[in-house]
Copies of this chain bind each other. A is one copy, B any other.
Amino acid sequence: MRVALVSTVLPINQVLHGNCVEIMQTLPDNSVDLIFADPPYNLQLGGELHRPDNSRVDAVDNDWDQIGGFDEYDLFTCGWLEEARRVLKEDGALWTIGSYHNIFRVGTFLQDMGFWVLNDVIWRKSNPMPNFKGTRFTNAHETLIWAAKHKTSKVTFNYAAMKSLNDGVQMRSDWTLPICSGGERLKAGDGRKAHPTQKPESLLHRVLLSTTHPGQIVLDPFFGTGTTGAVARKLGRKFIGIEADADYVTLARQRIEAISPGDASALQVTASKRSLPRIPFGNVVEAGLIKPGDTLFCAQGRRTARVRADGSVTGGGETGSIHQVGAAVQGAPSCNGWTFWHIRRNGTLMPIDVLRSRIRAEMEEA
């Protein structure tokens, strides 16, 4: 048995040729930010599944063998998932994709291992292959699972960017995207499709844009012809690809080589407000934008509070922060004082958040 040598230098932006479990064994613990895994679906095993002794798993087509088939598939799934989990950073997350042939099993093992499911996401194919025999519903979707390494992991989620990508409404758990075809579909030398299940770049675009920051490292243990790497390069993310098939490795390397990496300025996305620097309300008073003794109003002008020199306010018999008093006067469990309270300027009410924005802008100029 081969002894894995753990490297200290990550093979960034490389396509590694070999068995994904063995190669992941050479990577250190807690080292990648995201994993995207598109494992074999246990449909056409295509020689990609092997038993621990390296004998090939034969295709099976009766009930008894089918259950045996699940056993083999389950072993295979646990194998790569365990290594993937070890390599993943504590605040990292994993995406995997599959169909009803395999996704229930992958999802169950994920949960049993302690991964924390954040969403299951449906890729609705706008142009799926029909069911030619008319015996079932058109199999028009695949299922992705987005899961954190732990329940407590602080994963990356670019909420505002997703909302922006969806014309200003919250992105849903079902994504309608066309399958990979046309010029995007890689062809082999004989003009036929190079890979049977090449994923569309639009799918990876959404995965990487939503759950990574530029510069973060994405590991794809079933790299195929390198869609993950191609999109990572376009979006300024780093990747590590692992692929067992030598032809695919060659194709993927050529494909990624030909892509000009996205420049940083074009990769700016809508930032979430949570990531902006925190401004205490006292700074607004200190800056003279509001004076001690000034009155704050709610949007309707019916509730009021009085500003004090230290940035606390008094209203409804309470004294405290703008948030605490805002919550108190409404009898609400919480309140964002920045948007709740207003000041009167030129006869109209203006949210005090405008003043915070002014201070933030001044900080930018410095």
Interface status of A321 (Cβ within 8 A of chain B): yes
Min CB–CB distance A364 → chain B (angstroms) = 8
Which of the 9-residue segments A26-34, A138-146, A238-246, A346-354 touches chain B? Answer: A138-146
CA distance A171 to B267 in the complex (A): 31
Question: How far is the CB of A247 from the nearest CB of chain B, in Å?
Answer: 24
Nearest CB in chain B to that of A121: its residue: B137
Contact with B along A77-121 (1 / 0, CB 8 A): 000000000000000000000011101111110111010011111
Q: Judge if A189 is at the interface, Cβ distance under 8 Å.
A: no
With the chains together, A307 CA to B165 CA distance in Å?
Answer: 11
Partner of A140, one of B50, B126, B168, B174: B174
Residue from A130, A310, A334, A365 whose CB has the most chain B CB atoms within 10 Å? A310
A9 at the interface (CB under 8 A from B): no
Query: How far is it, in angstroms, between the C-alpha of A136 and the C-alpha of B210 when the chains are bound?
Result: 10
Q: How far is the CB of A75 from chain B (nearest CB, A)?
A: 14
- Asked if A187 CB lies within 8 Å of chain B CBs, one says no
Q: Given A54-B330, A202-B288, output 5 extra A-B contacts at Cβ < 8 Å.
A: A63-B150, A122-B122, A165-B310, A266-B293, A266-B307
Residues of A bordering B, CB below 8 Å: 48, 50, 54, 62-63, 66-67, 70, 99-101, 103-108, 110-112, 114, 117-122, 124, 126-128, 130-131, 134-141, 143, 145-146, 150-151, 157-162, 164-168, 170-174, 176-178, 184, 201-202, 205-206, 209-210, 234-235, 262-263, 265-270, 272, 277-278, 280-283, 285-288, 291-293, 306-312, 319, 321, 330, 332-335, 359, 362-363, 365-366
